[in-house]
Structure 1
Amino acid sequence: MLNYVTSSQLPTPWADFTLHVFVEKETKKEHLAITLGDLRTPEPVLLRLHSECLTGDALFSLRCDCGPQLEKALQRVAKTGRGAVFYLRQEGRGIGLVNKIRAYHLQDQGADTVEANQLIGFEADERNYELCRPMLDFFNIKVVRLMTNNPRKVNALENMGYEVIERIEHRITPNPHNRFYLRTKADKLGHLFNDDN
């Protein structure tokens, strides 16, 4: 269960967003909603569910697509003038930072991202999108246009009773360091994109 705690302004190069903090009661993890405009009106909300990636979001790692996806999502919300990015503290698809770096070490030796997680004793994806329910309900969001390549996110929201009226492809231009990673996400995790753009 998440509880809302506080909000503040978040000026960025693209827009002056509002930052809302929600704290997970059991783990004390802090999750964020970065919003723009009035989300409580009945129109569908442009939404991205973004899982924390310290290496990609803050350290500019080229081995994933997380940082560019976060930036692109904020730019899209800014351009639309209304929407939200939920920043979920589920590092490494839910396995945590230390285990993600352990998985990176195995990837350095040739394992793909799914194999690496499984070799250290985890599922390919350990994330729990039930975390989003209190955030969605706080803003009275019922219908969304979801920026994602991941059908699991669409299914998770629909299974919780929210309507996804549109899935907006959210891919970035591959680089030599993440092509294999992106191909693995498509081949083994069902992500709906290809790496030939």
Structure 2
Amino acid sequence: MNIIQSNIANLPTKYGKFKIKAYKDANQEHLAIMSENFETLDAPYVRIHSECLTGDTLGSLKCDCQNQLDLSLKFIAEHGGLVIYHRQEGRNIGLLNKVNAYALQDQGRNTIQANLELGFGEDDRDYSIVGYIFNDLGVKKLKLITNNPKKIQYVESLGVEIVERIPAITKSNKYNEAYLFTKKEHMGHML
């Protein structure tokens, strides 16, 4: 894996002050967003947040992504830790295909059916960059902020100790209820 890294920079935000570092692999650029006290923490709180342009930036109500990112950044600012902004849009199908998946969902498919109909898996994310970031930042144990059992399995497969799992539960709405149901019932998310 050939990774290019940035220097660490300051990132003051509406949530608090952070440090930020970018990582570039062959296909994407990812971010490590660290609390100012991150390096002093033995088992930091960590959120691996998968990119969702429509949710994170545009405020889409079809998912819970922006709410989870807001929750995580506020929590990390207060308690210390790390948010990895994992840039693999639409479970790694890309923005164009994600919009096509939205169109299929508008016709009645669920998120998994839409991905499969477009020729993708239900979740095509590759978490290898996360392992690289953990190694680079010296993360050996953590408190993982997630509802996703695949993220738990991946972190454990790295030999990183999960001291605690913190749920990332946010309010649902009429636009994302079916999406959240699919994540819970078909993908095993702990909602």
Provide TM-score, normalisation by structure 1.
0.93
| Deviating 4+ runs (over 4 angstroms) | none
What's the counterpart of residue 30 of structure 2? 31
Q: CA deviation at 1:15?
A: 0.7
The one-letter amino acid of 2:140's match is K
Q: Distance in 1 between matches of 2:148 and 2:165?
A: 9
Is the 2:143–2:165 contact (alpha carbons within 8 Å) kept by the matching residues of 1? yes
Correspondence 1:67 to 2:69: no
**Cα distance in 2, alignment partners of residues 5 and 65 from structure 1:** 30
Q: For the residues of structure 1 that align with 2:66 and 2:8, how far apart are their CA atoms?
A: 23
Mapped contact 2:41–2:81 kept (Cα < 8 A): no
State the distance in 1 between where 2:111 and 2:126 align. Answer: 18
Deviation per CA, 1:127-175, whole angstroms, max 9, x where unpaired? 0111111111111000010000001101001011111111111011001
CA deviation string 1:82-113 (max 9, x = no partner): 20100011000011100101100000000000
Distance, in Å, in 2 between the alignment partners of 1:84 and 1:149 is 17
Following superposition, the deviation at residue 41 of structure 1 comes to: 4.0
Code of the residue aligned with 1:32 in structure 2: it is: L
State the AA in 2 paired with 1:23: K
Amino acid aligned to 1:49: I
Which residue is 1:148 aligned to? 146
Change (3 A) 1:11 1:41: closer
In the superposition, relative to structure 1, how do residues 42 and 71 fare at CA in structure 2: closer, same or farther (>3 Å)? Answer: closer
Deviation at 1:185, TM superposition (A): 0.2
**CA distance in 2 between partners of 1:181 and 1:111 (Å):** 10
Distance 1:64 1:38 in 2: 31
Q: How many residues align?
A: 190
Q: Alpha-carbon deviation of 1:42?
A: 5.8
Please tell me whether residue 8 in structure 1 is matched to residue 6 in structure 2.
no
Q: Letter of the aligned partner of 2:53 in structure 1?
A: L
Which of residues 108, 117, 120 in structure 2 aligns to 1:119? 117
CA distance in 2, matches of 1:100, 1:172: 22
Q: Distance in 2 between matches of 1:145 and 1:4?
A: 25
Matched position secondary structure for 1:6: coil
- For 1:20, the equivalent position in structure 2 comes to 21
- Report the CA distance between 1:12 and its aligned residue: 1.0
Q: Does 1:92 align with 2:94?
A: no
With 34-43 and 149-158 compared, the bigger mean Cα shift is at: 34-43
Cα contact 1:62–1:177 (8 A) shared by 2: yes
What is the RMSD of the two structures over their aligned residues, measured on CA atoms?
Answer: 1.1
8 Å contact from structure 1 (residues 39, 139) kept in 2: no
Q: Matches of 1:135 and 1:167 in 2, distance apart? A: 19
For 2:7 and 2:77, the matched residues in 1 are separated by 22
CA distance in 2, matches of 1:145, 1:171: 16
- Match of 1:32, SS state, is strand
CA contact (8 A) 1:3 1:134 kept: no
